[in-house]
Structure 1
Amino acid sequence: MPESPAAEAVTKDAFYGGAFYLLQPAKSGLRAGDDALLLAATVEPEQAGAAADLGSGSGAVALAAAFRAPVLAVTLAERDPTVAELARQTLALPENAGLAGRLRVAELDLLLQRPVREAAGLVDGAFDLVLTNPPFHPAGGRVSPVAARAAAKAEPDDTFTTRWIAVAAALLRHGGRFHMIGRPDQVAAIAGACGNRLGGLAIRPVHARADAPAVRILCAATRGSRAPLRLLPPVVLDAPTRQALGQGRLTVAMG
């Protein structure tokens, strides 16, 4: 029988050349990689105020964002109790002491009613920035046999993206920014979910090679904006770009 996440070994992994460390399950669950770092790369160093990382896992996006933006405070919102506890332990690592004071973990199901979110400290209209790397593989498709990894990667149903983005929009103040990483074939779903709440949608495709189809899209929108959708030039993950991404030197401007 497979190990339960609680009994499983945990790895301690360095990011940005040791700027911060992350505790992650060795086998089950979703381990942080390029997707998390690409999303964090959309955070400008001047970003201030309060941010929320929705579906935070053990904290890769939040820690990377806090490192990149020295005055940004980030709330890590995570549903899975085991993963939320790993996030708390991650923030308690001595190596993360310089960042941990600006981060906190909120354990909750974001898709429940607003009073549940507010009880966890996620108040509507209170955030300047929402970041999310949500489960985005299609519902009903091929999924991992490991339950925790499947839950972290696959949409639970066809309405998930719409409901998730609605929560993100509710959390933002007027003029606040929404940043998401997703699949290229989610463009229509993301644009539709933004609706009248989030405007000025900007989409930047991400390619493993310049001559290959996009493997991801980075999306950004603004609460209350009426600006039209824009397609931005691509990010190509060539060797220099990957090196800059891994070292925390890459900034992906989203307009």
Structure 2
Amino acid sequence: MVVPAPAIAETVDAFHRGRFYLVQPSGRGHRAGMDAMLLASLVDASGPIRVADLGAGAGAAGLAVVSRLSSASAVLFERSPEMAEFARKSLVLPENAGLADRVSVVEADVTLTGKARNDAGLVDDSFHHVIMNPPFNDAADRAAPDRLRAEAHAMTGDLFESWIRTAGAIMMPGGQLSLIARPQSIAEILDACGRRFGGIEITPLHPRPGENAVRILLTAIKGSRARLQLRPPLVMHDDPSSHSFSAFVDDLNNGRAAYPRKS
């Protein structure tokens, strides 16, 4: 007799002050939060756009984009069948009825190349924006407590090169790459952008005044030859004694504002 695998406990969580909801694993796997919302805020457009969310997990960043931009559509690319299923569950929630027809889920490994990549749905020159929140832990770091979390957090091999290579392939000329990462990854990211992307803009994200940056927000334009710009830092908490977000960061987190490029 085949014993079915135990169901993964899940929660349904509100984002953008209830403008969309996300089904997520409870107690295991990666749970979306501010990183995904800040990543989504990097997409700023006034007309129809197609967005690819690479390594989408349960789909928080892609859903956040279409929640804020009524003319945007998104494809959520996720390798893990379990996490892709959470994204599909989110799309059939009644609370998401207003945006579900602009979002689709594709199970695909974003590190594929050539014909295999196209056959998997990662089609060349087909997206205006590509967003990504790649795994940020080195495989040698302390092991994550469960498989789903390990898959979401542990990078293996030349991760940024393979993900950014795919972003460059599936993006239309002049399209925008947006990502959030740890500051320690800047050199690898710039190397991977190489001649594929230019006009790179980097914003360090600091928890409080005087504290080191814990994330970077980076955007780049396919085919641009513009020089890199290091933008002023974003500070999450203006008051060192408070856990409240600064007004602008709170707006970004809740889909009330975008963080547009300078150029």
* TM-score bracket relative to the smaller structure: over 0.9
Give the secondary-structure state (helix, strand or coil) at the position aligned to 1:186.
Answer: helix
- Cα contact 2:37–2:64 (8 A) shared by 1: yes
**Quick one: which amino acid aligns to residue 257 of structure 2?**
L
- Please name the residue that 1:251 is paired with: 258
**Quick one: which amino acid aligns to residue 260 of structure 2?**
A
Q: 1:129 to 1:143 in 2, by over 3 A?
A: same
Give the secondary-structure state (helix, strand or coil) at the position aligned to 1:24.
Answer: strand
- Please name the residue that 2:240 is paired with: none
TM-score, length-normalised on structure 2? Answer: 0.91
- Please name the residue that 1:26 is paired with: 26
Post-superposition Cα deviations, 1:58-99, rounded to whole Å, max 9, x if no partner, equal 110011000111111100000000111111111111110111
Per-residue deviation at 1:45?
4.7
Indicate the larger mover: 120-129 or 221-230: 120-129
1:98 equivalenced with 2:98 (yes/no) = yes
1:49 equivalenced with 2:56 (yes/no) = no
Give the secondary-structure state (helix, strand or coil) at the position aligned to 2:67.
Answer: helix
- Cα contact 1:5–1:28 (8 A) shared by 2: no
- Please name the residue that 1:183 is paired with: 182
**Quick one: which amino acid aligns to residue 88 of structure 1?**
R
Post-superposition Cα deviations, 1:192-218, rounded to whole Å, max 9, x if no partner, equal 100001111110010111211100000
**Quick one: which amino acid aligns to residue 229 of structure 1?**
L
Give the secondary-structure state (helix, strand or coil) at the position aligned to 1:193.
Answer: helix
1:45-194 aligned within 5 A:
45-46=45-46, 48-157=48-157, 159-194=158-193
- Cα contact 1:208–1:236 (8 A) shared by 2: yes
- Cα contact 1:55–1:76 (8 A) shared by 2: yes
- Return the alpha-carbon distance in structure 2 between the equivalents of residues 20 and 176 of structure 1: 26
Give the unaligned 5+ runs of structure 2: 238-244
Post-superposition Cα deviations, 1:150-204, rounded to whole Å, max 9, x if no partner, equal 11011023x1111111111111111000000000011111111000011111100
| Percent of residue pairs identical | 45
- Cα contact 2:39–2:133 (8 A) shared by 1: yes
**Quick one: which amino acid aligns to residue 254 of structure 2?**
Q
Q: For this pair of structures, how many residues does the alignment match?
A: 251
- Please name the residue that 1:226 is paired with: 225
Larger radius of gyration: 2
Per-residue deviation at 1:117?
2.8
- Cα contact 1:108–1:116 (8 A) shared by 2: no
Q: 1:249 to 1:112 in 2, by over 3 A?
A: same
- Cα contact 1:244–1:250 (8 A) shared by 2: yes
- Cα contact 2:73–2:102 (8 A) shared by 1: yes
- Return the alpha-carbon distance in structure 2 between the equivalents of residues 210 and 6 of structure 1: 46
- Please name the residue that 1:37 is paired with: 37
Give the secondary-structure state (helix, strand or coil) at the position aligned to 1:65.
Answer: helix
Give the secondary-structure state (helix, strand or coil) at the position aligned to 1:248.
Answer: coil
- Cα contact 1:16–1:248 (8 A) shared by 2: yes
Give the secondary-structure state (helix, strand or coil) at the position aligned to 1:214.
Answer: coil
For the aligned residues, what is the CA RMSD? Answer: 1.6
Give the unaligned 5+ runs of structure 1: none
Q: 1:5 to 1:142 in 2, by over 3 A?
A: farther
**Quick one: which amino acid aligns to residue 192 of structure 1?**
D
Per-residue deviation at 1:228?
1.0
- Return the alpha-carbon distance in structure 2 between the equivalents of residues 62 and 49 of structure 1: 12
